[in-house]
Amino acid sequence: MSNDFQTWVNVAAYIGGGAAMGLGAIGAAIGEGYTAAYANSAISRSPNLSGEIFKSMLVGQAVAESASIFALVIAMVLLFTEFSSQSFLMIFVPLSAGLSIGFGAIGSGVGSGFPAGAACMGISRQPAMSAKLTTNMLIGSAVCQTPAIFALVTSFILLFTDFSSSPVSPTWAAILGAGLASGLGAIGSGLGGGLVAGASCDGIARQPKSATTVTNVMLLGQAVTQTTAIYGLLISFILMFKTFAPTDSIAAAMALLGAGLSIGIGAIGPGIGEGFTAQSAVSSIAKNQKATAEITRVMLVGQAVSESTGIYALVISLVLIFVI
């Protein structure tokens, strides 16, 4: 019987490892491809600047690739670590860890491609702004990586926490819910942050004088897009660290899984929506710096409204955990 149990733990680790790398590769591949596509257009526009464009593309792709390297790290840990089979819960831990980083890397990978592509195009338009564009691109890309880092942190906590003393039911659902909350919750924020960073690189290339203002508004816009990923992380932490009373009821377990799904799926839309708002605001500020205060105000109001659906998802998750 113990052999059968260990087999199931291994099966879960292999599925988790496969999901981590398979899903995690999607975003970075799209992001890097997007960057290369724009680098091609930029070189065709200004062939004499190919060296500078290559340079920007290389560092941009290196950062965009980080999300999939996070996934690779977790996949390798899942595939080659011998997990103990002392508790039935160990079947869900590797599965959840793999899903967390797998989903979590998608948005950040794609998102990081947007500023890198825009920076390549920007250099072909304004070669003199190359250094500023690279700095802005890398700062924007780094912020895009934060949701993937949240997912990575969740995966590591899941893998290195000892759940053996927790009751099997409903903790199995809390473990799965935690991975899904953090992983799915990171998709929208990663993409949204990338849209803003891409627009800011484009804006700086078109209106070099607006660089400082555009970068500052980009950081503000990106900060708001990241909030829904933080909600996902928050629910994930509650699910991982709250002690749940043992129960045989499947409904109680499903409530915890539902909590993870609610914030995970619910965070995707607001993250992208807030990204659209800030993307447009950054582009508009680059065109008309004098209207910065007005545009920033409208941006924040628009983002707050878009955020409300994420807050509904958060409230439902909290109700599912603490009330039901």
Partner 1 sequence: MEEIREIQKKYCSRAMFTAIFGGLFLILADHVSIGKGLILGTIFSSINFVLMGETLPKRLLQNQRNKAVMFSLGSIFVRYLILALPLLLAIKMEQFNLISVICGIFMVQLMILGEQFAKFFLKLRGKTV
In 3D space, the residue among 134, 138, 74, 77 whose CA is nearest the CA of residue 105 turns out to be 74
Least Å distance, CB 270 to partner 1, is 26
- With CB under 8 A as the rule, give the number of residues binding partner 1: 30
State yes or no: residue 202 binds partner 1 (CB under 8 A).
Answer: no
Applying CB under 8 A, the span of 136-144, 168-176, 267-275, 281-289 interacting with partner 1 comes to 136-144
3-state secondary structure the chain: CHHHHHHHHHHHHHHHHHHHHHHHHHHHHHHHHHHHHHHHHHHHHCHHHHHHHHHHHHHHHHHHCHHHHHHHHHHHHHHHCCCCCCCHHHHHHHHHHHHHHHHHHHHHHHHHHHHHHHHHHHHHHCHHHHHHHHHHHHHHHHHHHHHHHHHHHHHHHHHHCCCCCCCHHHHHHHHHHHHHHHHHHHHHHHHHHHHHHHHHHHHHHHCHHHHHHHHHHHHHHHHHHCHHHHHHHHHHHHHHHCCCCCCCCHHHHHHHHHHHHHHHHHCHHHHHHHHHHHHHHHHHHHHCHHHHHHHHHHHHHHHHHHHHHHHHHHHHHHHHHHCC
* Single residue of 13, 19, 26, 57 touching partner 1 by CB under 8 A: 57
Angle at alpha carbon of residue 279, lines to 134 and 31, rounded to 5°: 55
Residues 23-52 that bind partner 1 (CB under 8 A): 29, 36, 39-40, 43, 51-52
Q: For residues 29 and 298, which CB has a smaller minimum distance to partner 1 in the complex?
A: 29
Spell out, one character per residue from 138 to 167, where the chain touches partner 1: x when CB under 8 A holds, - when not: xx--x-------------------------
Q: For residues 140 and 192, which CB has a smaller minimum distance to partner 1 in the complex?
A: 140
* Single residue of 5, 18, 46, 59 touching partner 1 by CB under 8 A: 59
* Single residue of 61, 100, 169, 284 touching partner 1 by CB under 8 A: 61
Q: For residues 81 and 164, which CB has a smaller minimum distance to partner 1 in the complex?
A: 81
State yes or no: residue 257 binds partner 1 (CB under 8 A).
Answer: no
Sequence letter at residue 141: S
Least Å distance, CB 82 to partner 1, is 9
Least Å distance, CB 55 to partner 1, is 5
Residues 94-123 that bind partner 1 (CB under 8 A): none
State yes or no: residue 220 binds partner 1 (CB under 8 A).
Answer: no
State yes or no: residue 6 binds partner 1 (CB under 8 A).
Answer: no
Applying CB under 8 A, which residues contact partner 1? 29, 36, 39-40, 43, 51-52, 54-55, 57-59, 61-63, 65-66, 69, 72-73, 76-77, 80-81, 134-135, 138-139, 142, 215
